Chain A
Amino acid sequence: DAEITQSPRHKITETGRQVTLACHQTWNHNNMFWYRQDLGHGLRLIHYSYGVQDTNKGEVSDGYSVSRSNTEDLPLTLESAASSQTSVYFCASSVAPGYEQYFGPGTRLTVT
């Protein structure tokens, strides 16, 4: 069965370190998304991609970057981790813009 996986599932890092969260999907979807979920805010879009070599900023993109070198993967990098980036991060994919998105299991990141 097709799926979307994230790694690691839990990560603790220190302020100022660079961190990369992995996202891999076997749906063969062109569209991939990164969200963060915080109490009181719901899911907020960080970055998204509509295909290889395409990346776009979402509503909370400051301090984050993504790159898309193949269809299956969209890694999320925190250039210099800050305590405000402590959150649960979800990756998602969809077959086309506007269609339902399928989510991964999430990565819980703690920045100390």
Chain B
Amino acid sequence: EDQVTQSPEALRLQEGESSSLNCSYTVSGLRGLFWYRQDPGKGPEFLFTLYSAGEEKEKERLKATLTKKESFLHITAPKPEDSATYLCAVSTGANSKLTFGKGITLSVRP
């Protein structure tokens, strides 16, 4: 059974304090790893897709990386507007359904 574990469950940062969010996975045959951002009361918003180990993608203050066992979402000099829940999901198998982790709630204090 595919498993996705995100850590920590919650993270509080000071504005400008860089950090990383972890997503570790145990799957058979990874086809893609996805990062989403979710604001309270809204649907998840797509951020990145990573397909192979060593791949990196960047968007503003966010950078996602992928190894054979885990992915990191690095946040550089975060701002209060980066506060949200960040979800990781993996796609595996012939059906390529997504399996989601439980999310990491990030709070950035001004």
Contact B91 A42 (CB under 8 A): no
Q: A41-B102, A42-B103 are in contact. Are A106 and B96 (CB under 8 A)?
A: no
Q: Would you give the shortest CB distance from B104 to chain A, in whole angstroms?
A: 11
Residue of A nearest to B100 (CB): A43
Contact B32 A98 (CB under 8 A): yes
Q: Mark B32-57, 1 if CB is under 8 A from A, else 0.
A: 10101000011111100100000000
Contact B43 A104 (CB under 8 A): yes
Residue of B nearest to A96 (CB): B96
Q: Would you give the shortest CB distance from A76 to chain B, in whole angstroms?
A: 15
For the complex of A and B, list the 7 residue pairs with the smallest distance between their C-beta atoms, beginning with the closest: A98-B96, A103-B43, A97-B96, A42-B102, A43-B100, A98-B91, A100-B46
- The number of A-B residue pairs with CB atoms under 8 Å apart is 49
- The number of residues on chain B lying at the interface, defined by a beta carbon within 8 Å of a beta carbon of chain A, is 22
Q: Please list the residues of chain B having a beta carbon within 8 angstroms of any beta carbon in chain A.
A: 31-32, 34, 36, 41-46, 49, 87, 89, 91, 95-98, 100-103
Set of chain A residues within 8 Å of B91, measured between Cβ atoms? 97-98
Set of chain A residues within 8 Å of B31, measured between Cβ atoms? 98
Contact A102 B100 (CB under 8 A): no
Question: Is residue A34 within 8 Å, beta carbon to beta carbon, of the partner chain?
Answer: no
Set of chain A residues within 8 Å of B46, measured between Cβ atoms? 100-103
The one of A42, A44, A97 in contact with B87, judged by C-beta atoms closer than 8 angstroms, is A42
Set of chain B residues within 8 Å of A56, measured between Cβ atoms? 95
CA distance A97 to B103 in the complex (A): 22
The one of B42, B49, B97, B103 in contact with A100, judged by C-beta atoms closer than 8 angstroms, is B49
Residue of A nearest to B49 (CB): A100
Given contacts A56-B95, A97-B96, A102-B46, could you give 18 more A-B pairs where the C-beta distance is less than 8 Å? A40-B102, A42-B100, A43-B44, A43-B89, A44-B100, A45-B98, A90-B43, A92-B43, A97-B91, A97-B95, A100-B46, A101-B34, A101-B46, A103-B44, A103-B46, A105-B42, A106-B42, A106-B43
Q: Mark A22-56, 1 if CB is under 8 A from B, else 0.
A: 00000000000100000011111100100000001
Set of chain B residues within 8 Å of A48, measured between Cβ atoms? 97
